[in-house]
Structure 1
Amino acid sequence: MASKEANLEALLYAAGDSGIEEQNLTALLEVDGEELGQIAEKVKQRLAANKDSGIQLIHVAHTYKLTTSPQTAEIIEKYFQKDLTKNLSQSALEILAIVAYRQPITRVEIDDIRGVNSSGALQTLVWRGLIETNGKKEAPGHPKLYVTTDYFLQYFNYQSLADLPLIEDFEDSANNEEIDLFDPKKTDQDTQKEGQ
C-alpha cells in the first residue's frame, strides 16, 4: 500500500497545472489540515533534497501543485521556444477542438466529453500558447474556464473563430472520413489520398 506522501505526489501529478485545493486533499487522503501540511512538507523536502529532481511542490492560495523546479528553467525555456505545436498528440488535438468549439469550457467539462482525464494535455496546450484561462465558472469550486488564444488563430491561419469549419460540414460528409479540423492548408486532394 502506498504511503500518504506517495499518494499526495500521485494526486498532484494527475491534477496537472490546476493543482488540488487543501480541502479536497484532506478528504482524499483522509487527514486533517495539520497532517496534510506535514505530509506536504515531507514531499517538498524530499524533492528539494534530490538535486537531480526536476520538479518541486508548491503551496499557493490554499492549493498544492507540482511544478518544474527553478534549476530546469533553461531547458524548459528552450523547449517552448521551439515550434512543437506541429507534433501535438491526438489527445491534445481532441482537447483543442473541444475548446475551440465549446469555449469557454472547464477541464471537468472537457473530461466529461472525452471520458478521460485531460489535465496533462490541457497543460501542454496552455504552455504552447494555444489556449489560456479566462475567468472562472460560477459553480462549486469556481473552476477555471479555458478559451483559445490569438496565437491559435494565427497558427491555424484563421482570422476569427467564425472561420472554423462548421461541425455540420463534417457530420454530413458523404464519405464519413476523418478530417483534420486544424489543417486549413490541406487540400481536398490531400484528404482523398489519405483515405486511399
Structure 2
Amino acid sequence: MNFSFIDIRSGSATCVFEINHKKFEFHPSFHSDALGDFVSYLASKHPLCKLSWKEGAFHKINGGIHWQTGPYLLNWEFKRDFEDLEIIITEKQNFTVDRKVNTNLPKIILKTTCKFDDFVLCVIKELDRVIKQRGILGYRQEWQNYTFPIDGFLALKYAYLYKKPFEITKKNSGTSLEDELHLLLLAIE
C-alpha cells in the first residue's frame, strides 16, 4: 500500500494511491483543502485523536470528504471497523463546473478494505515527507489558500507511535511546543 501527495504546485497536486496491486491517480485542485480535509477526516476516524483541549476537534464527518478535481468531485469515505478500514472512492458530478446531468455518475472508483493502522502509517510517512520537503509556509505558498494540516498530522503521528492520545493540555492550559517540535521532527522508519 502506498499513499503519495506529490507535484504540489499553484492550483493542483497529484495524489497516487496504490492498494492491492492497483494504482489510482487523482488531481485535486486548490478549490478544496484536499490534504487538510483528508487528514482531518482520517483523524476523526482514529479513536486516539481526541484533542483534550476541545472535545471533537476532529468532528465526525458523515458521507466522507470531497476533493474538487475539475469536472468531478472525488469523494473519499472511510468506514472503520476496529482493525479494518473500508475505503470507498467515488466520482461525483461537480455541478459548479458542469450543470448538464452526467448519467454515468456517481461512479465507484474503488471499494476496498485494509488494516487501519497500515493505512494511517502510509499517510503519516507521506505527510512527514511533504512537510520536510516543503515546510509549513512553503506548502501554503504552493497550495495557495490552505495551510499544511499540522494538527491532524501531529495527532495521527502521536497516536500511531505511542498508542495513546496526544495530551496537549499542560498545567498552564497551553501546549508544549517542545513536544510538538520533537514529534514533528521525529522520523518514522
- TM-score normalised to the size of structure 2? 0.26
Name the larger-Rg structure: 1
Instruction: Give the number of the structure whose residues are more often strand, by fraction.
Output: 2
More helix by share: 1
The TM-score normalised by the length of structure 1 is: 0.26
Q: Which has the higher contact order (CA 8 A, sep 6+)?
A: 2
